[in-house]
Chain A
Amino acid sequence: MVVLREGMCPGLDEDLLRDLRAADIKTVEDLVSSDIEGLAQKCSVSYKALFAIRRVLLAQHTAFPVSGADLYEELLSSTAILSTGNPSLDKLLDSGLYTGEITELSGGPGSGKSQVCFGVAVHISYQLKQSVIYIDTTGGLAASRLLQMLQAETSNTEEQMEALQRIHVFRLFDVYALLGCLYSLRSGGLQQASVGGGSVKAVIVDSVSAVISPLLGGKQNEGMSLMIQVAGVLKTMAKDFNVAALVTNHVTRSGSGEVQPGLGVSWSHIPRTRILLERVEKAAAVSRPSLRSAKLIKSSRQPCHIKEEFDLQWWSRSEKGSSGKRKLDETDS
């Protein structure tokens, strides 16, 4: 709703505003939907003048159609694919996180969601030399762990410090703070972050479910509304600023014991790509407790339900190489 105000457009003066209010026209929506001819008579203004006002207001508040060809052109030049730094995850994600999209990691406690987020943040800030916004809603972010990951990449302290400075951390613990933060990031804060160092290429929210799930359930709609608002601002921000959004979600168990991402059906439409992380509970995994499996459960680019295994220690591996990774064979079941 956009309330009509004096000076919003030429011709919309105090008197007219009063007349309009008297005719129960309070918002732009009211004015645009009304019968202009009848309204002009009621408010004793000329049809032409009122029509002009309607036209200007409409032009001010509408969204403009863009030709698909132009959009595609723009997309080709602006879309970037950010590698996560982990070959197994990149394979699932079709080479990495796409800017302009929301990617979701879900998994139970200790399934490695935060670790993947750390790894992605470090990779983007150190390897790609771009800034990252990291919104921590659970207090799970440990800068010492980020440093540890960086130390595996480089022994140059200066480079480590630079990379750490490119990661901007917000610690917010309720949904209102999160919404406020996202709104102000969208309305200019993102560019502000870009000033020092590379531009912001990724926004990580770990975790989105921690702040939303306390509000869901029961007979209240407010939680749902706030959830959709968080989703909306993330999506528009991802699109408008060309950043990749990475969010984490918890899991719930359905009646049949099947694991599914949390936050319910309405949220399931929100992320473009969803990955489910799980601990590997196999005999072989006992000696390597940091082994995790990642399953693609929603994607528009890859067949769903492909599965990869990876080691959380991948990001803190030594220079020696890729011993920390093992692909899941087709025959492995």
Chain B
Amino acid sequence: MQTYGQEGALNTDTELSHVLHDSKHQAAFYVEENKPQDLLRSFISETGLSEEEAVEVLKAVKGGGGGGSGDFSASLTALELLQKEEELRSIVTFSSQLDESLGGGIPVGKITEVCGVPGIGKTQLCLQLAVDVQVPQCFGGVEGQVMFIDTEGSFLLQRVTDIAAAAVRHCSLLAEDDEQRAATETFTVETVLSNIFLVRCHDHVELLAELHLLPDFLSQHPKIRLLVIDSVAFPFRLLFDELSQRTRLLNGVGQQLITMAINYNISVVITNQMTTRIRDGQSHIVPALGECWGHAPTIRLLLQWEGSRRLATIFKSPCHMETMVQYQITPEGFRDADQSEMPQSKQPRMDTDQSAADPKETSS
């Protein structure tokens, strides 16, 4: 039995839904599509709807049925997909080791989740990416805008300005030909800041509402290439009456995000907190929001301490093997760990720098 009528948009009465549900019947309507007047007439006579309503319903059915249609216009061959993937540039992280292990940076058209304990540098990475996504194309960047959804209140303007200034400086040093020199004219701290759309969501209801409205915003701002949610865990870790309700909502969020990522060619970066789980009598630190949520991100990046070193692990990814790289947080932002210097001597100082910048450090 075919039930396109399940779609909420279709407000059909029972009898009408019978008509729609009947597969043979539906096939008949599809066949008759060439003769729209006949179709409409027979449809009206059967359902007793007004002509207007009938037109509406048929449109909805056609749209609903055709939207996910299995006719092959909706499909790609893997070869076409490969070409598409190659056209999309990745967003560099300014840590060459991490970029290399990710195959060029944070990919566009996918969801990347950054997990880690407070103070490890999740927000720093997000802010860095918000700046990096704007790097002009002639420097190998994506040259896009960014939508930043802040749920924890951790978006600090001063920090963004610092990172942006460092990135601008970096590009102007690299500029060689005329094109690149011209690009640096417009790639300034001011333009960087003006290309960041910031939204503050205080709880999960606001976040869900924002995500619901986002597709419209994205179609109005086609230059947006990055969506950051920092963090998705915070609003959902508050008390929920029912744990299953949270899981359901989160699953829905995951599907919404990937739809946007693919349809608008944006990279979605979300951060997640860590939580302790007791298993087999041992405690493990695992990403929060439950196991089900773990399926939503395409790539999972785990940031963790090892002694005083900061390590980033690609924990889950369809196209990369599990790898581990070291990084550091400098005043300029997210960078490779400096191998030449002794990291131990440098790291503690950076830590205090960062804790001043990152309010999470003090709040937790």
Direct contact of A and B (CB under 8 A): yes
User: Hey, which bits of chain A sit against chain B, CB under 8 A?
Assistant: 1-3, 5, 26-27, 61, 108-110, 114-115, 118, 121, 125, 133-134, 137-148, 161, 164-174, 176-185, 187, 189, 192-193, 207, 209-211, 213-218, 222, 225-226, 229, 250-253, 257, 262, 289-290, 313
Q: 1/0 contact trace for B24-40 toward A, CB 8 Å?
A: 11010000000000000
The answer to the question of B254 belonging to the interface, with a C-beta cut-off of 8 Å to chain A, is yes
The answer to the question of B331 belonging to the interface, with a C-beta cut-off of 8 Å to chain A, is no
Complex alpha-carbon distance, A274 and B87, angstroms: 37
Main secondary structure of the interface of B (DSSP, over half): helix
Known: A185-B70, A226-B6. A169 touches B295 (CB 8 A): no
Complex alpha-carbon distance, A184 and B73, angstroms: 12
A222 — which chain B residues lie within 8 A by C-beta?
Answer: 6
Complex alpha-carbon distance, A139 and B258, angstroms: 6
Complex alpha-carbon distance, A171 and B109, angstroms: 12
**Chain A interface: which of B141-149, B167-175, B315-323, B355-363?**
B315-323
A181-B319 in contact (CB<8A): no
B1 — which chain A residues lie within 8 A by C-beta?
Answer: 229
Complex alpha-carbon distance, A262 and B244, angstroms: 12
User: A141-B318, A214-B251, A313-B321 provided; 10 other pairs, C-beta below 8 A?
Assistant: A1-B22, A139-B261, A145-B319, A168-B77, A171-B76, A176-B64, A213-B251, A226-B6, A252-B292, A253-B291
A193-B72 in contact (CB<8A): yes
Interface centre among B70, B245, B258 (most CB of A within 10 A): B70
**Chain A interface: which of B78-86, B125-133, B155-163?**
B78-86
A183 — which chain B residues lie within 8 A by C-beta?
Answer: 2, 65, 70
Complex alpha-carbon distance, A225 and B27, angstroms: 22
Complex alpha-carbon distance, A1 and B46, angstroms: 14
B69-A184 in contact (CB<8A): yes
* Interchain Cβ contacts under 8 Å between A and B, 28 examples: A2-B22, A3-B15, A5-B25, A5-B42, A110-B294, A137-B255, A139-B262, A141-B318, A144-B319, A161-B79, A164-B77, A164-B78, A168-B77, A170-B75, A171-B76, A171-B262, A173-B262, A176-B7, A180-B64, A182-B70, A211-B255, A213-B247, A214-B248, A217-B244, A217-B247, A229-B1, A253-B291, A289-B321
From the candidates A125, A141, A189, A252, name the one contacting B81 in the complex (CB within 8 A): A141
Complex alpha-carbon distance, A265 and B258, angstroms: 28
Complex alpha-carbon distance, A216 and B296, angstroms: 16
A172-B68 in contact (CB<8A): yes
Q: Which residue of B lies closest to A186 (CB)?
A: B70
From the candidates B19, B42, B64, B70, name the one contacting A184 in the complex (CB within 8 A): B70
B318-A109 in contact (CB<8A): no
Q: 1/0 contact trace for B242-254 toward A, CB 8 Å?
A: 0011011101101
Complex alpha-carbon distance, A168 and B78, angstroms: 6
From the candidates B42, B77, B109, B318, name the one contacting A167 in the complex (CB within 8 A): B77
Complex alpha-carbon distance, A164 and B79, angstroms: 5
A174-B255 in contact (CB<8A): yes
The answer to the question of B310 belonging to the interface, with a C-beta cut-off of 8 Å to chain A, is no
A216-B70 in contact (CB<8A): no
B3 — which chain A residues lie within 8 A by C-beta?
Answer: 179, 225, 229
Known: A167-B78, A207-B295. A181 touches B68 (CB 8 A): yes
Complex alpha-carbon distance, A145 and B27, angstroms: 39
Complex alpha-carbon distance, A133 and B77, angstroms: 9
Q: Which residue of B lies closest to A257 (CB)?
A: B279
List B residues 78-107 near A (Cβ within 8 Å).
78-79, 81-82, 84-86, 103
How many chain B residues touch A (Cβ–Cβ < 8 Å)? 67
The answer to the question of B204 belonging to the interface, with a C-beta cut-off of 8 Å to chain A, is no
A166 — which chain B residues lie within 8 A by C-beta?
Answer: 77
The answer to the question of B74 belonging to the interface, with a C-beta cut-off of 8 Å to chain A, is yes
A262-B75 in contact (CB<8A): no
Complex alpha-carbon distance, A143 and B79, angstroms: 7
List B residues 242-299 near A (Cβ within 8 Å).
244-245, 247-249, 251-252, 254-255, 258-259, 261-262, 279, 291-292, 294-296, 298
**Chain A proximity of B90: nearest CB distance (Å):** 11
A213-B67 in contact (CB<8A): no
**Chain B proximity of A190: nearest CB distance (Å):** 8
Known: A5-B46, A27-B18, A169-B76. A138 touches B295 (CB 8 A): yes
A253 — which chain B residues lie within 8 A by C-beta?
Answer: 291
From the candidates A61, A138, A181, name the one contacting B298 in the complex (CB within 8 A): A138
Q: 1/0 contact trace for B302-323 toward A, CB 8 Å?
A: 0000000000000110110110
B78-A210 in contact (CB<8A): no
Complex alpha-carbon distance, A218 and B252, angstroms: 14
Q: Which residue of A lies closest to B19 (CB)?
A: A3
B82-A173 in contact (CB<8A): no
The answer to the question of B300 belonging to the interface, with a C-beta cut-off of 8 Å to chain A, is yes
From the candidates B74, B82, B296, name the one contacting A164 in the complex (CB within 8 A): B82
- List the 6 closest A-B pairs by CB distance, nearest first: A177-B68, A109-B294, A184-B70, A180-B68, A110-B316, A143-B82
Complex alpha-carbon distance, A163 and B86, angstroms: 18
The answer to the question of B225 belonging to the interface, with a C-beta cut-off of 8 Å to chain A, is no
The answer to the question of B4 belonging to the interface, with a C-beta cut-off of 8 Å to chain A, is yes
A226 — which chain B residues lie within 8 A by C-beta?
Answer: 6
Known: A2-B25, A213-B248, A251-B291. A165 touches B77 (CB 8 A): yes
A181-B18 in contact (CB<8A): no
